[in-house]
Every structure is written in C-alpha cells, then in structure tokens.
C-alpha cells in the first residue's frame, strides 16, 4: 500500500479546512442530498463528502457507508487532493498503490472516483467521491463525470455559504459584545470622574473629554478593519479610554509595525476586554497597579504581551468567562494566526498573542 504524501501546501490547506468550522458537525440534509444525487447519477452504492484532516478523512455526508471517518493513511481521497483533476480507479486491486489497502481488500472500495473540493483559497479540502464494491473497467461515462464535477462545485459553494454565515454571526456577536463593553467602560469613566473632588463644570469637561477619547478609540478600530493599522497607534488609541492623560501606570513598548485589518480588529477587541477586566478586577482597579504592553519579532511573526502588576491577586472573574474568554483566547487566535493565551499568576494577569507573519504589513523597525 502506498500512503499519500502530504500536500505541498499542507499547513495552509489544513488552516483553510479549519476555517470552515465543518469538521465533526452534525449531519446536514443539504450535503446528504448531494451524496444521494451523486450515487444515483453514477449508479454506485456509496457516495461521500470526504474532508481530509491532519490524520484522518472525515465524512460530512455518507451515502451507503456506516463509518464516520477512516485514517488518512488508508484514504484514497488523500491521493485525490494531490491532483488537479478527478482521480478515477476502475479496479483498486489492480492498482499497485491500493491493492493491499484494507479498505480495498477487506472493505467496499473496488471502484473509486474522487473529485477534489477546492475552496476559495485555491486549496483542496477533500473530495466528493463515489465508490462501489465491484470494479468498473469502463469507469464513469463522460456525462456522469461532468455531473459529478457540478455536484462537487455545489458542495464547495455550500461550504462557502455556511462559512460566510458563521462569520457574519460571529461579527454580530462581537459587535454586541463590544457595545456592552463600551457601555461598561463609559459607566466606569463616569463613576470615576464624578466621584472626585471636582466642581460640576470641571467634572463635566473632564467627562466629555474622556467620552471623546473613547469614541476616538472605537473609530480607530473601525478604520483598521478596512486596512492595515499601526500596532502602536492601535494600542495607544484603545488605551485612551482608560488613560486619557499621560500616566506612568501604562507602558507601551515595541518596534514600529503595521498589522492587517483582521488582526487589528481582533487585537483591539481583546485589548478592550483586557482593559475592561483590569479596570473592574485587576491592576487598573487600584492606584498602585500598572499595565505594560510590549511586542517583539520572533520566528513565527510578532509576539504581543499584556502584563498587569501591582493590583489585586487575580482570579477568574465574571468578565474572564464565557464570550469574554473567547475574545482573548480562541477567537483572537483564529484571526491573528497564532495562539492567544491569558494566564493569571499571583503577580497579575498576563496575556500573550502570537501574530502570524502573514498578518504583518510592514517591516519591523528597531
């Protein structure tokens, strides 16, 4: 048995597959309709929407097959994704690559045709394949093959639409969460401003200035979603809402660099979450607390660090659970191309975010 070699762009291919959020999801009638049509058109007992993961092939839809997945080492689809055209095997036992493959010798795969499912990143995600336990020396007819290609195209289109819908839902959730955070920050600003020993007119002036700073920070983030953004300017504008005046409790240190709009939006949202939590529960809730934000180049791209010191001993707060923890964790990590991790040592919260090289839009100076 010949095991398929990895795809030439395997890391990017796997990242593209993960971006669809389709692996290990429930059965979907839309995909099941496609495999039912494929089996009927080709006259086979089995049809699959097979997605080739790191160590397995997983079936989003399976007509005529019970198993939900197999190992990648025995997957014929792992061979098919290496081609720019359909992989047609009239008799697997007559093919040196598969004659001792257990799926062929002990399983139902004697005839196989797989059409690569190529996503919008121009990388193969898996196949739409038809299988039969009997060999077919004649293969598929020309019309059958063309119709199978059309169904493969529709499969990818369906995946794209579902990914787009999921992204829109996430964007809406982010927008709602950001709005709630802005309101929470506005409330904290008002409380701090009005609780001091200021005259009414002075407090009014300070309050207006701080609200303007908050609006400026949000405007910067919205602009960054359409183009690259200076990381320093992004951080500085975001922190204006919490430090409207120069304050030695805040330190921002790092070389000049521009990051993608996608990464900027994720970093901005995470910083907003961290700042809000620090104001409520962490270093910014006391006068002795400090926050240091720094970044440096490394082998994977750029490592950004948020570090709190001098505040209360941290513990998982209400703001660090649920959607908030996703904002500073996996949701951010997905958009910046690397891990984003929040830890809570006794000295204060520490957050690190690895921004992938492809999100850097300018050379790092200094």
| 333 contact partners, CB below 8 Å, separation of at least 6 | 339, 340, 353, 354
For the stretch 40-58, pLDDT in tens is 999 999 999 999 999 999 9
pLDDT at 229: 82
pLDDT at 270: 86
For the stretch 14-27, pLDDT in tens is 999 999 999 999 99
Q: pLDDT exceeding 90 applies to what percent of the chain?
A: 61
State how far the Cα of 78 lies from the Cα of 96, in Å rounded to an integer: 16
pLDDT at 322: 52
For the stretch 91-121, pLDDT in tens is 999 999 999 999 999 999 999 999 999 999 9
What is the pTM for the complete model shown?
0.57
User: Which among 239, 233, 240 is positioned nearest to 258, based on CA atoms?
Assistant: 233
Q: How many CA atoms lie within 13 A of 12 on its CB side?
A: 11
User: Could you tell me the domains of the chain?
Assistant: 10-163 (3.30.450.40), 196-359 (3.30.565.10)
Q: Positive or negative CA dihedral for 251, 324, 159, 164?
A: negative
| 118 contact partners, CB below 8 Å, separation of at least 6 | 124, 125, 156
CA dihedral 351, 352, 358, 360 (to 10 degrees): 80
Mean pLDDT value across residues 224-236 = 77
**Edge-to-edge strand order for the sheet containing 124-132?**
69-71, 56-63, 46-52, 124-132, 111-118, 87-89
pLDDT at 118: 98
Question: pLDDT higher for 189 or 126?
Answer: 126
CB 64 within 8 A of CB 47: yes
Confidence of residue 273 (pLDDT cuts 50, 70, 90): confident
């Amino acid at each position: 048995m010949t095991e398929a070699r990895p795809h030439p762009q395997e890391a990017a291919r796997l990242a593209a597959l993960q971006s669809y959020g389709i692996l290990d999801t429930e059965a979907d009638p839309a995909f099941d309709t496609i495999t039912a049509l494929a089996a009927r058109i080709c006259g086979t007992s089995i049809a699959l929407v097979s997605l080739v993961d790191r160590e397995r092939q997983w079936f989003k839809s399976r007509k005529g097959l019970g198993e939900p997945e197999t190992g990648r080492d025995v997957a014929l689809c792992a061979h098919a994704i290496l081609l720019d055209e359909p992989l047609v095997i009239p008799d697997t036992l007559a093919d040196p690559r598969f004659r001792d493959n257990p799926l062929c010798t002990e399983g139902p795969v004697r005839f196989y045709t797989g059409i690569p499912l190529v996503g919008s990143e121009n990388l193969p995600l898996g196949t739409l394949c038809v299988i039969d336990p009997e060999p077919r020396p004649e293969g598929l007819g020309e019309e059958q093959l063309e119709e199978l290609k059309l169904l493969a195209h529709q499969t990818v289109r369906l995946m794209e639409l579902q990914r787009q819908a999921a992204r829109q839902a996430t964007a809406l959730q982010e927008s709602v969460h950001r709005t709630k955070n802005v309101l929470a920050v506005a409330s904290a600003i008002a409380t701090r401003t009005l609780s001091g020993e200021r005259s009414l007119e002075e407090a009014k002036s300070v309050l207006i200035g701080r609200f303007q700073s908050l609006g400026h920070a949000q405007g910067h983030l919205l602009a960054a979603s359409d183009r690259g953004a200076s990381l320093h300017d992004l951080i500085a504008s975001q922190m204006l809402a919490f430090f409207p005046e120069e304050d030695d409790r805040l330190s921002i240190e790092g070389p000049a660099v521009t990051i993608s709009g996608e990464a900027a939006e994720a970093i901005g949202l995470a910083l907003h979450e961290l700042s809000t939590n620090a104001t409520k529960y962490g270093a910014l809730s006391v006068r002795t607390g400090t926050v240091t934000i720094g970044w440096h180049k490394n082998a994977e791209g750029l490592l950004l660090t948020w570090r709190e010191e001098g505040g209360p001993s941290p513990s998982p707060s209400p703001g660090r659970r649920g959607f908030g923890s996703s904002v500073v964790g996996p949701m951010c990590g997905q958009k910046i191309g690397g891990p984003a991790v929040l830890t809570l040592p006794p000295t204060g919260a520490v957050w690190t975010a690895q921004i992938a090289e492809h999100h850097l839009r300018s050379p790092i100076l200094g």
